[in-house]
Chain A
């Protein structure tokens, strides 16, 4: 079989499985997010390594919901609060001072909640982010690969109100090419889950007779005016 087709087919199968197994959790997460947003809160997103793809999928996205905000290590590098090498080596994920640095550059608010994404869910930085949010009474949603999480005795779910499973294998290598293993599914399945959440948040807003704050692609004529009207009320809290 054509290996390219095999990947497309695998993704479709895994997306179907993820939907069947997790549709109730996806809806519950969307309800939690939209409740936070209706209270003028922002959903703060943070992802470890490839978990950042999930962050990007929800943060200031065409066809996405406005009140999300990504906590980006790269922005700490741009502001010279972090060295790129700490990201490349992975040392940053054990450095708890990053949490204070985020607080320094971002406008974080007690009305916000957190959505934290990690394949293993065991890095000290993300576990501490979750723990501090819980201490302040903020809601936490976690996204982990449950098989991998269980294998390495992750801690993130101890602080999560709800969680979603990336539904990938451990290790995440779905294709075998004559003994060579490749083909990661987790990030793409996660992206689909993120868009399912987006659809459900939209549903939460409109079913209450409210207008959903949906962003336009910045590369459509007139989009800047529409998008700014949704994000300006939040000042620096989003984007």
Chain B
């Protein structure tokens, strides 16, 4: 029987498995975020498709860290000069293209102390791999969030023959299944995807632990508190960067 109860039970078990298997990697990433923020760095987050949700969930809300910058796919069009029809072409899918990522990367004010999160469940598409490659070549620490089950089951689409996880200084496996959907059915497709739920938990746990580490170091965590004056000053500090 496939119903809400079944999903609740399966996702709870998966979240336990995610935490238990990734707690050391999560700690290492929070340390990297702390070090970056203490040097006035910014965490650049890039994910194509639904993966960008990881950044969105910890951004622009009370209690959220300010020095998080989301590299938006739509910036290709609004700032990078890519025609909207090419960007939204449903037959020749833009996120799969290799060799265009620099148009996005070059738009931003990226400083040496900045770190990158690159997120893709499959980790096989052109743009995410190129962004990770660019960041790494420029000497930045790169954190990959991916589904190892998915990425190992698919052929790479990138001309290098590589997959996203191969570019990570730290790799977090979101423990999602191949194809993202969790529950087997009688048909060809499984049902109920988990990556956004897993990725949100990863993002929130990282954000909270980073705040805690900053606090322990005596560095005031740059988070939105809901106090207008405080928040405006913080936003101004990172203006043009985050």
Report the number of A-B residue pairs with Cβ-Cβ less than 8 Å. 215
Sample 7 A-B pairs with CB under 8 A, ordered by A number: A6-B208, A172-B61, A173-B62, A178-B215, A198-B7, A199-B6, A214-B190
Give the B interface residue count (CB, 8 A).
78
- Shortest beta-carbon distance from B88 to chain A in Å: 7
A200 to B7, CA, bound (A): 10
Residues in A whose Cβ lies below 8 Å from that of B206? 4
Q: A7-B204, A178-B215, A182-B64 are in contact. Are A2 and B191 (CB under 8 A)?
A: no
Interface string of B210-239 (1 = CB under 8 A from A): 011001000001010110000000000000
CA distance A182 to B192 in the complex (A): 28
- In the bound complex, CA of A49 to CA of B226 (Å): 16
- Segment 8-61 of A: residues with Cβ below 8 Å from B: 8, 11-12, 15-16, 19, 23, 26-27, 49-50, 52-53, 56-57, 61
Interface centre among A84, A183, A195 (most CB of B within 10 A): A195
How distant is B19 from chain A, measured CB to nearest CB, in Å?
A: 5
* Cα of A19 to Cα of B122 in the assembled complex, Å: 30
User: Who on chain B is nearest to A178 by CB?
Assistant: B215
Q: Is the CB of B191 within 8 A of A180?
A: no
Interface status of B209 (Cβ within 8 A of chain A): yes
Is the Cβ of B188 less than 8 Å from the Cβ of A226? yes
Name which of A4, A173, A178 has the most chain B CB atoms within 10 A of its CB.
A4
B-side residues, CB < 8 A to A, are 1-8, 11-12, 15-16, 18-19, 23, 26-27, 30, 49-50, 53, 56-58, 60-64, 74, 77-78, 84, 87-88, 90, 93, 121-122, 124-125, 150, 154-155, 178-183, 185-197, 200-201, 204-209, 211-212, 215, 221, 223, 225-226
On whether the beta carbons of B4 and A196 are closer than 8 Å, the reply is: yes
Q: Which of A71-79, A120-128, A130-138, A149-157 contacts B (4 or more CB under 8 A)?
A: A71-79
Instruction: Report the Cα distance A217→B125, complex, angstroms.
Output: 13
Q: B residues within 8 A CB of A202?
A: 2, 185, 191-192
Q: How big is chain A's contact interface, by range?
A: 35 or more
> Does chain B have a CB within 8 A of A175?
yes
